[in-house]
Chains A and B, each alone.
Chain A
């Protein structure tokens, strides 16, 4: 298994109190004591050879049949999904190829339990080699083996012990037979050390509405009876959490969900000023997902993906088809397209201008388009063709614009292709400070706050050590944004934000107070920002902006705004 689980592996040596990260596979939260699932039964070391191999073979097959009948009996009481899973598992227990393999190992001089184990190993290895879905079926296979071994040895079946206090089940992994037959009224949640997103545990837990986290390193070292809390959305598990913190967290989560569900529709301040709520997307799949959401369009469509994986420049037809798919879900809504933003840090096989000492300050964005104008020309033609094929309100903006001349050069080309709404990204401080003149050339501006912070603070975005300088609340960056907003007002052109800042509910209020009229962000953040707007008037937003600008540090700005925002919003953050 790779991914998040691999990161958590380092915490395996600390099984006691603390926060740990697994993979959330079934949503919801739970808090309760741990019930440990008995480990699978292993064959004894140096098991005695079966003297009568024919009789031993018959006994082994009979134990598999017993397991199959047990699974089928459970399936009769389970719901539809669990029934299918249990029946499929019973079918494996009855498999004649599996029985033949056991008989073969008995004939080679192994004991009965060892022979069952070897036969299971054989098929498990085949499934693991196939990977993916098959590898996750190995859990089912091993469960059958363990049950059959317990049967031939006369031991109790492995699995979940009986318990009467609502609890969280913790196991190495849960077999479908175990998950499917859990008592929903007693099982608050499930945590496993192994498992994956498509394991039966995950599928059944989600189906049964039981919050679950898989791939939690050290899960099986948590002692029985220890209270733990789990979050099936984020994958976070806390061992021995503070009970009061758990209660207040749960209350806040519930209040927040209820409050967010109450507001919908276009973004508006409390006194009715429209602030468009838009999505940042990177391709056709994103577009389909975002198109189905309650939002007013796309504020940033990054077109790099069309180019980055290609060995040759994509043709007019290829690009038109991709753009058409992106625009289609937004019939009647706006889609702001950013033209190709590549350069030495994101090199293109067919547009390589050579190595650069400092790619962030090199020939990237519009500068690359000016060096290779035919690339931009084909892209604009394709965007215009796709716009004609759909009902979306298509607007096109250039990245990395620094001067009035660049803005004019770009706007001419966009309009010449029959696209009436050219715009520019405001991410270079020079363009922000001269926004009134730059925006006079185009129809709109969009602040790229991540790059604007990097260039204003002279701090490389790729340099983790400099993250405080890159804090979007830096008052110096807010000053530059305020200058751009004033320029936009003078030019009479709308200014939006499409950086990370737009998705932070408090910072979004500051941006609106500075004069920004649209906010584009990850789709998941829109509801929080909509609620923030709904609970503040424009005049209140302006006061919050003034408070942020008066601060002397990012932390001070954040605190000042938090203190002056409505308690209604702050209580939900």
Chain B
């Protein structure tokens, strides 16, 4: 199992468009990825409702965990997404 931490960079937090972009990336990876605040229960990162209900705000730290092959590269890519302002374009 691989774990990474990321800091939410989107100014509006992880919902709406930023959440949709992130969840799509999780789905595209084909992996089972979980997301949550460090030390708290996690939710399915492939569920837009779960990710939005997490209510992660700008500047908050979240933890990603995944199991399976090539998890390192996938998590690196997902962390990079969370660390950029997805609502900026």
The interface of chain A, by Cβ under 8 A from chain B, is 84, 87-88, 91-92, 95-98, 123, 126-127, 130, 133-134, 137, 141
Contact = CB atoms under 8 A, between A and B. Distances in A.
B49 interface: yes
B63 interface: no
7 contacts: A84-B17, A92-B49, A95-B48, A96-B46, A127-B53, A134-B15, A137-B15
B80 to A, nearest CB: 21
Given A84-B17, A88-B16, A88-B17, A137 B52 contact: yes
Interface string B40-80: 00011011111011010000000000000000000000000
A348 B64 CA distance: 49
A88 B15 CA distance: 10
Contact of B20 (A91, A96, A127): A91
Contacts of B15: 133-134, 137
Contact of A95 (B12, B17, B24, B47): B47
Given A130-B55, A133-B15, A134-B15, A95 B49 contact: yes
Contacts of B48: 88, 91-92, 95
B23 interface: yes
A432 B24 CA distance: 70
A97 B47 contact: yes
B52 A134 contact: yes
Closest 10 CB pairs of A and B: A97-B47, A126-B53, A130-B55, A97-B50, A95-B49, A123-B49, A91-B48, A95-B47, A95-B48, A97-B44
Nearest to A84: B17
A522 to B, nearest CB: 31
Interface string B9-25: 00010011100100110
Contacts of B24: 91
B12 to A, nearest CB: 8
B53 A123 contact: yes
A211 B25 CA distance: 38
A95 B44 CA distance: 10
A87 B48 CA distance: 12
Given A97-B44, A134-B15, A88 B20 contact: yes
A568 to B, nearest CB: 48
Contacts of B50: 95, 97
A98 B17 CA distance: 19
Nearest to A133: B15
A487 to B, nearest CB: 55
A84 B16 CA distance: 10
A127 B48 CA distance: 12
A84 B49 CA distance: 16
B61 to A, nearest CB: 18
Contacts of A88: 16-17, 20, 48
A91 B47 CA distance: 9
B87 to A, nearest CB: 11
Given A96-B47, A97-B47, A134-B15, A127 B52 contact: yes
Which of B12, B47, B55 has the most CB atoms of chain A within a 10 A radius of its CB?
B47
B23 A91 contact: yes
Contact of A96 (B16, B17, B44, B53): B44
Given A96-B46, A98-B47, A133-B12, 16 more contacts: A84-B17, A88-B48, A91-B23, A92-B48, A92-B49, A95-B47, A96-B44, A97-B44, A97-B47, A97-B50, A130-B53, A133-B15, A134-B53, A137-B15, A137-B52, A141-B49
Nearest to B55: A130
Contacts of B46: 96
Contacts of A130: 53, 55
A141 B24 CA distance: 19
B27 to A, nearest CB: 9
A126 B46 CA distance: 18
Contacts of A134: 15, 52-53, 55
Contacts of A133: 12, 15-16
A123 B55 CA distance: 13
A97 B43 CA distance: 9
Which of B24, B43, B46, B48 has the most CB atoms of chain A within a 10 A radius of its CB?
B48
A91 B50 CA distance: 12
A119 to B, nearest CB: 10
B17 to A, nearest CB: 7
A127 B49 CA distance: 9
B45 to A, nearest CB: 10
Nearest to B23: A91
B42 to A, nearest CB: 12
Nearest to B24: A91
A508 to B, nearest CB: 43
Contacts of A97: 43-44, 47, 49-50
Which of B12, B20, B24 has the most CB atoms of chain A within a 10 A radius of its CB?
B20
A20 B28 CA distance: 50
Nearest to A141: B49
A141 B55 CA distance: 16
A381 to B, nearest CB: 36
A207 to B, nearest CB: 15
A234 B46 CA distance: 43
Nearest to B53: A126
A138 to B, nearest CB: 11
A534 B78 CA distance: 62
Contacts of B44: 96-97
A80 to B, nearest CB: 12
A134 B52 CA distance: 8
B88 to A, nearest CB: 15
A92 B16 CA distance: 11
A98 B53 contact: no
Nearest to A131: B55
Contacts of B55: 130, 134
